[in-house]
Amino acid sequence: MLREITLGQYYPANSVLHSLDPRVKLFGTLVYIITLFSFDNVPLFAMILIALIGVIKLSKVPFSFMVKGLRSIIMLLVIAGLFNMFLTPGITLVELGPLKITDVGLINAIKMTSRMVMLIIGTSVMTLTTTPNQLTAGLEKSLGFLSKFGAAINVDFHVHDIAMIMSIALRFIPVLIEETDKIMKAQMARGADFETGGLVKKATNMVPLLVPLFVSAFRRATDLAYAMEARCYNGGEGRTKMRPLTYTSLDQRAYICLFMYIILFYAVKAVL
Amino acid sequence: MAIIRSKDLVHEYIRRDEAGNVESIQTALDHVDLEVEPGQFISILGHNGSGKSTFAKHINALLTPSEGVLWVDGMNTSDDEYTFAVRQTAGMVFQNPDNQIIASVVDEDVAFAPENMGVPSDEIVQRVEKALKMVGMYKYRSHSPNKLSGGQKQRVAIAGVMAMQPKCIILDEPTAMLDPDGRAEVLRAVHDLNREKGITVILITHYMEEVVDSDFVYVMEKGKVIMKGKPRDIFTQVDELKSHGLDVPQVTMLAHELRKSGVPLPECILTRQELVASLAKIKNGGHE
Amino acid sequence: MNDNILIMDHVSYKYSPDTAYEVKALDDVSLTIKKGEFIGIIGHTGSGKSTLVQHLNGLMRATEGHIYFNGQDIYDKDYDIRSLRTQVGMVFQYPEHQLFETTVFKDVQFGPKNQGLDEKEQIKRAYEALTLVKLPDEFYLASPFELSGGQKRRAAIAGVIAMKPSVLILDEPTAGLDPRGRDEILGLISDMHEKRGDTVILVSHSMEDVANYVDRIIVMDNGRPAYDGAPKDVFSHYKELEKMGLAAPQVTYVMNDLKAQGFDVDTSATTVEEAKEEILKMLGR
């Protein structure tokens, strides 16, 4: 059940998107999110949708794989959608007892759910086509200016350390999810109950799950620290990269596409 | 010259209370003398808590001696100046396959050590390819480690060490968490490295079957080396091994039991071919 | 009274059913397990052995087929699956990873507490279980995280035994232990079987461990039982076992080698002791 979370997982394939520089993808995702939250009419929405579908096609990641990531938050989406639908004032369309569906509410609900769904699918396109290491390398490089700026004013922003922490966290998320599953089963075999009871009872019932999980995470951290030291890890200084980030003509073309998308989007927004 | 040499090596784990006063001292290594020649395949046997893992960490300069000296390729591991040189000379593979893979893609993980060492990018690519081919994992280079079997993960970990181009590789119970298939895979890879690339191997284990093909075996208990010799010499001492909580391969055990019942078998039987041949000789000899 | 304690009737389990990724982890398995049996389930990784045992206490639910415990279908709507889990005790691989309480004793009490027993009974159960696993009593009030590897494992096994299950399943109980720890744990399990007459199911990939203790071996391959019988009968198929990535105990090979050389021996020995007797007989001593 927990294993079905796809957010933050990499899907190996050989596509244009996979071979793009992570910085391009980071920038692209940023642009996508900004446009996603600033559309206010149907043509703009259609434009974003077409762009998303195009990118998904380019990624060669099966669509079903991306949708799987949605399953875990479907309840959240439904609740948020319902709240919007019933609690927004406007012209009443349908009346269900004390609850009213208004026109503005309906539009808001659709807007908000589609935004959430597209936000999750869009960001998972990035994580599915970029290895966590590339992603952190991209972040590290993109935030490189912070290090330089920090050096000038004598503050260490630990950009490399943060990038390293991120990549390790991403590496161990699936491992810890599997572990959670295992410990949960083991405690259930001892009669533990993770499902019934009120909020307080549920929270106390989590103790037999959380304590072993923390213990295991600490044990792994100790092991990992040794393993990293044994392989000569000594912070970011003097480190080289197997695949240093360099822009190719493909990345240039991607940047051009992105800028064209931005211009087109805001042109349409201004006109309509 | 010996590639690894320890002299009177002592390691004490000191526990202190909150005020910093010594609460207890536990001697994990107690005057260990050991010598490994380049190209040898050495095994260190012992059960949990015998000090064998502590010793392994010393060879990698993850721990330094409380007393005594340890030289790796002539470098004193207590000397901070050599720490990284020591780690590059004697690479280390750990027990838990999951907890030593740092990256989320196989080849990026193998690149981790050379990246730390500041090796130029194009050379890293070559090293990674070479290291992955050595352990037969090249075709998995763009896989996620999470999808690999335990044996495959351990081979990736070995490749990660080989990418440093070490002279020696130390494996601390690399098979303890694997199934029989995985165990065989890892041992095959390690023996290949030793035979074909001349890499010195130090295998730390509690599985007896794994040390049969070593050049030399050390048995440790309570921080001391209690037995050492060629596998054949060690395995003939069945009762002594048993008394230290170690077991012997079933065939050796059977030969030992038969000898105790008066069957005149030779003293050093390790394989079933040897046992069957000896029994046949006795049986046929009896008829004549 | 029926002495079949567990029955699996045409049980199948599929991962991601009806998709391209469908994997049959269990393929039409029918088995009966009798009260008091000591069974070894062997198979290589991915053969379905762990999936099989997780069905027996309802932690996994079959996609097809039925499972009966004491004659009752565990998939019946009003069947109490949580109570089944305490009656079919399951010790997972590396069980020490499930320890969480502040003291060993409290941790062992966790199972009985979940069964709804009163405190006095919980304490009695925990004490009995800890005695059974032979954990020295100076550790009862220690933190479980201060114990050694072998002791932790014993404490964790006690945590399951304390529920007094009538069937005890152990998934690779010796994984990662050294020979001394392994012998201790296997000795303990076999003692419990003998003294208490529990039904015990031991999942393992070590043939030699299994051959020394159990009365019946089930070999899993590709999600179905390939062989099911006494160790002697199962190991006589050693050539087929090899093809499944398994091997018979070394002594079985020795006996077969002797036979192949034309000696008149019975090849069914599966332990060192049996092989010794047989060889002595062959030599006429």
Contacts 24+ apart (CB under 8 A), B70-78: B70/B4, B70/B5, B70/B6, B70/B7, B70/B9, B71/B2, B71/B4, B71/B5, B71/B6, B72/B3, B72/B4, B72/B168, B73/B3, B73/B4, B73/B167, B73/B168, B74/B1
Residues with Cβ within 8 Å of C122's Cβ and at least 6 positions away in sequence, in order, are C109, C112, C113
Query: Which among B207, B179, B234 is positioned nearest to B48, based on CA atoms?
Result: B207
Residue A213 lies in domain = 159-239
Provide ipTM, 2 decimals.
0.89
What pLDDT does C11 receive? 94
Q: Select the highest-mean-pLDDT range: A204-208, A268-272, B214-218, B281-285.
A: B214-218
Backbone φ and ψ of A58, nearest 5° = -65, -30
C65 with C28: CB under 8 angstroms?
Answer: yes
Q: How far apart are CA A17 and CA A126, in angstroms?
A: 9
Q: What is the pLDDT of residue B133?
A: 96
* Cβ pair B118:A240 closer than 8 A: yes
Q: Do A190 and C59 touch (CB under 8 A)?
A: no
B257: chain C residues, CB-CB within 8 Å: 272-273, 276
H or E element: which one contains B255? helix B250-260
Residue extent(s) of CATH 3.40.50.300 domains in chain B: 4-245
- For residue A135, pLDDT beyond 90: no
- With both helix axes pointing from N to C terminus, report the angle between C149-161 and C119-132 in degrees, rounded to the nearest 10: 130
- Contact B99/A224, CB-based, under 8 Å? yes
Q: What is the pLDDT of residue C20?
A: 65
Tens-digit pLDDT profile for residues C73-109: 999 988 988 889 989 999 999 999 999 999 999 999 9
pLDDT tens for each residue of B115-146: 999 999 999 999 999 999 999 999 999 888 98
Structural domain count of chain A: 2
| pLDDT, tens digit, 9 for 90 and up, residues B51-93 | 999 999 999 999 999 999 999 999 999 999 999 999 999 999 9
Report the percentage of chain A scoring pLDDT > 70.
Answer: 97
C205 touches chain B (CB under 8 A): yes
Q: Are residues A229 and A213 in the same domain?
A: yes
Res B9 pLDDT > 90:
yes
> Does the beta-carbon distance from A193 to C95 stay under 8 Å?
no
DSSP H or E run through C31: strand C23-34
pLDDT digits (tens, 9 = 90+) for B199-212: 999 999 988 888 98
The CATH classification of domain B4-245, taken from the options 3.40.50.300, 3.30.70.1450, 3.30.200.20, 3.30.420.40: 3.40.50.300
One domain for residues A201 and A259: no
- For residue A228, which of A175, A176, A165, A185 has the smallest C-alpha distance? A165
Q: Could you tell me which of B105, B106, B103 has the C-alpha nearest to residue B116?
A: B103
- Taking an 8 Å cut-off on Cβ atoms, the answer to whether A227 and B125 are in contact is no
User: For residue A141, is it within any domain?
Assistant: no
Which regions of chain C are under pLDDT 70? 1-2, 19-20
Name the nearest CA neighbour of C57 among C28, C91, C84: C84
Q: Evaluate whether residue A135 is within a structural domain.
A: no
Residues of B in contact with A229 (CB under 8 A): 62, 87
- pLDDT tens digits, B232-288: 888 888 888 888 888 888 888 899 999 988 888 888 788 888 899 898 888 887 544
Q: Are residues A31 and A104 in the same domain?
A: yes
Within a domain: residue A149? no
Beta bridge partners of B201: B41, B169
Identify whether residues A53 and A179 lie together within a single domain: no
| Nearest-by-Cβ selection for C285 from B206, B247, B261 | B261
**Residue of A191, A193, A212 with shortest CB distance to C98:** A212
The pLDDT of A62-85, averaged and rounded, is 80
Contact C264, C282 (CB under 8 A): yes
> What is the pLDDT at residue C1?
45
Whether residue A151 lies inside any domain: the answer is no
Assigned domain for A44 exists: yes
**pTM for this structure?**
0.84
Query: For the purposes of burial, counting CB atoms within 10 Å of the CB of B17, is it exposed (0-12), middle (13-18) or buried (19 or more)?
Result: exposed
Query: Does A191 contact C at CB distance below 8 Å?
Result: yes
Q: Is B223 left (phi over 0), alpha (psi -120 to 50) or beta?
A: left
One domain for residues A84 and A178: no
Nearest-Cα residue of chain C relative to residue A182: C92
Closest CB to A239: pick one of B100, B101, B115: B115
Residue A2 has pLDDT above 50, yes or no: no
* Helices A132-142, A103-129: crossing angle, 10 deg rounding: 100
CB contact under 8 A, C208 and B279: no
Contacts of C163 in chain A (CB under 8 A): 190-191
Please give the structure tokens belonging to residue A36.
């996603």
Query: Which chains reach chain C with 3 or more Cβ–Cβ distances below 8 angstroms?
Result: A, B
Within chain B, strands assigned E span 4-16, 22-36, 41-45, 67-72, 75-76, 90-93, 168-172, 200-205, 216-221, 224-229
pLDDT of B191 over the 50 cut: yes
Residues A31-69 have pLDDT tens digits of 999 999 888 888 899 999 999 999 999 998 888 877 777
Count of CB atoms situated within 10 Å of the CB of A54? 11
B37 phi and psi angles, rounded to 5 deg: -90, 150
Residues A99, A13, single domain; the answer is yes
The share of chain B scoring above pLDDT 70, in percent, equals 99
* Mutation target vs C (from A190, A194, A196, A207; most C CBs, 10 A cutoff): A190
Closest residue by Cα to residue C98 from B74, A215, A63, B205: A215
Best mutation target, C177, C182, C251, C279, to test chain B (most B CBs within 10 A): C279
